Structure formats: structure tokens, C-alpha cells
Amino acid sequence: MTPMPIAAMTAVSALGIGRAAHLDGLRARRGGLSPNDFDPMVGGWIGRVAAVEAHRLPAGLARFDCRNNRLADLALRADGFADAVAAACSRHGAHRIGLVVGTSTSGVEAAEEAYRRIGPDGLLPRDFDFAGTQDLASLADFLRMALGLRGPASVISTACASSARCFMDGTRLIDSGLCDAVVVGGADSLCRMTLHGFAALELIAPGPTRPCDALRDGISVGEAAGFALLERDAPGAAIALLGWGASSDAHHMSHPHPEGAGAIRAMSEALDRAGLSPGAVDWVKLHGTGTRANDAMEDRAVHAIFGDAVPVSSTKGWTGHTLGACGILETVMIGECISEGLIAGCLGVGEVDPDFRSRVIIANQASALRHVVTNSFGFGGVNCSLVLGRA
């Protein structure tokens, strides 16, 4: 494929607001996880964005007020991202700017609060706005109005691969001639449904998550939002999307294919589309959730393609698993690492699982990064791999 320049990027997570906060955390090996103080108290550690509670949406967008959209608004206001989109609108016209964003739970926390206020009549409170908050379309509606966009808009909800897959659809909109630029990314916020759900699956680690560790014992749930502006003729773009691949395991609702068949296919397609051999990749950023099954499967899949020649690591030790937002968040972090010449080794790992055969690194390394593969996998067997590099 023809490389797709990324004109602007931004992210907010437990590491902070904006790209610089994320690079600082990676360089200093300072994670953003903390003991779970979010309702419900199901134990474990979480990646919480402290600023989201106090943040308020602009008055004209008050109907969209929920934790998820506030998180998205925090990201829009960082790194000059909204200004970059406005400049693209001036160059091409707002009707030529598309929007493709991902989320797994949208503003379901607003519905959870509404259910707590059900009256004696059994009805939800009158001020609960389903379309403005919980509906999956809420995120796109809010962003379209906040940014003044008039081009095609859609929301992808493919679990933890959601915001990674947005890069694929955004590129297609531009390549088809329907758009001159597309805002991609997504948001996923803490809520009771995900915390209870992962607790019921016994997947929440009692301490900070430790992807690839011999004693890893689960995930830390986090929240994040992030966006990227894809633009074919982007002025001054430093990073580009070079390839993408996607597949479905068709194996199990919540368990990955044990041999990583779908993951292998997604990575292979992404490399083929980028026109690269495995030897041209300098870092594989793992999905790396910290669960026994995911990390073992991903190690087998990565080793099948890259052997033990390429450094591999996960960044979820810094931010937690931000679910549908992990694809965009980790793309933004990779963009900073490419610019900085940094491979971020897994955080908090004492000993790499001795059964792993890929080259897992647990300390930061300086490296002139040419090409990076990033994986995002989701429940339902959804797999998405992106190849990133300098524009």
C-alpha cells in the first residue's frame, strides 16, 4: 500500500495528557497504574485518568456529557489536535474530512448511574440521554459536532481491536476518494461492566499487570482516548501507517486460538501490505495483556514470523489494558518512540516466562526505529496488526 501519513496525534491515559507525558513515562519507566479505587472495588490495580472527573464539555455539547466523551474531549484539546483538524478542514472543506472511531463500551457508565436512580415506577430517570451517552454512536456524534466535521462518520466496536481497526477503514476512505483526511482513534473509559466482567472471568491481576512475566497473573483495566489525523498530503508529517492486516480466529468468544493462527495471519498481511520482510522490523509492540493465555499465544505467533531476532515488548504495564482504546493509545506511544529512537521494554517484569521463544525485552533500548509492528487483539477472536514507520 502507499504509506498513509499521520498529520497529527494525541492521547490521554493514566500516564497523563498529551504525547510528551507518555514519552516521559516511557523514558523514566514510570507507570500510571494505582490500586483500584473505582466503584466497584473488585481489587487489582487500574489505569485511571484523574482529570476526567473534573472536566466539563462545552455548554453546547452538554447532552453528550459522560465519562467516555469527557475523556475524548481531554484528548482533543491536547497536542493542538483540534487545531490540526481545523487546518485540514480549511484545506479540504469539512465535508471532505471523515471520522472513524472505536469504543467497546462507549458511555455505558452513564447508564449504570441511571439504573441506580430508577424510580418507584421502574422507569429510568428522565434526564438520562441514551443516544447522547451510552449509544455506540454517541462518541462519533460528539466528535463530529466538537470538530465541526461533515464527512462520513462511523464507529467500530470490535472489542480491544476497535481503535486499531479504525486505521484500516480511515485509509480506505481516503484511497477510495471519499475523503481527503480522516480522524481515527477512539475512547474507552472505566465502568462497572468491564471491571465486574473481567473480575468474573478471574482475569484481574491483584497487583500491577506484568505482561510476559513468568508469574504474570492477569490484566489491569485502564482507560484512555486518542486520535490521529490521516491525510495523504499532510504537511510536515513525521509518522506514517505503512501496512495493516486483520483476521478472525473463529475459535472462541473469549479465548485466543492456542497457536495464534489468526494473529499470524494479521501480522503476515500487515507485512505484505507494507512490502516488508520480517527482518526489516525493529520492534514488535505486543498486544501483551498480562493474561496467561494471551501472552503465551502471542509469543508463539510472533516467534513463528520473527523468530528470536526482533525485540518484542508490551506497554500495558504503564497504562493498563485500555480495551477499545489500546490500539490508538499504543500507536501514539510508538510514534513518540520512533521519533525518540526508543524501544520500551516490558515494565515490572522480574523474569520472562522461560517457555517464551521470542525475544522479550524488559529494559528500554535505544534504537533507530525504521519499522514497528503493533498488535491489537480482541474478544471474539478479532486480530489487527499495523505497521508504522517514518513518513
Active site residues: 160, 287, 321
Which cell goes with 336? 513518540
Q: Residue 95, SS3?
A: helix
Q: What does the DSSP assignment read for 54-69? A: T----GGGGGG-SHHH
Which cell goes with 348? 515490572
Q: Which helix or strand (DSSP H or E) is residue 273 part of? A: helix 261-274
Beta strand 97-102 with 45-47 is unpaired
Q: What does the DSSP assignment read for 280-294? A: G--EEE----S-HHH
- Cα(27)–Cα(24) distance, rounded to whole angstroms? 5
How many residues in total does the chain contain? Answer: 391
Q: ω into residue 40 within 30 of 0, thus cis?
A: yes
| Single-letter amino acid, residue 84 | A
| Partners of 192 in beta bridges | none
Q: DSSP letter at 84?
A: H
| Partners of 40 in beta bridges | none
- Cα(42)–Cα(35) distance, rounded to whole angstroms? 10
Q: Angle at Cα 75 formed by Cα 375 and Cα 174, nearest 5°?
A: 60
**Is the separation of the CB atoms in 281 and 311 below 8 Å?**
no
Q: Residue 342, SS3?
A: strand
- Cα(257)–Cα(298) distance, rounded to whole angstroms? 10
CB neighbourhood size of 54 (10 A): 7
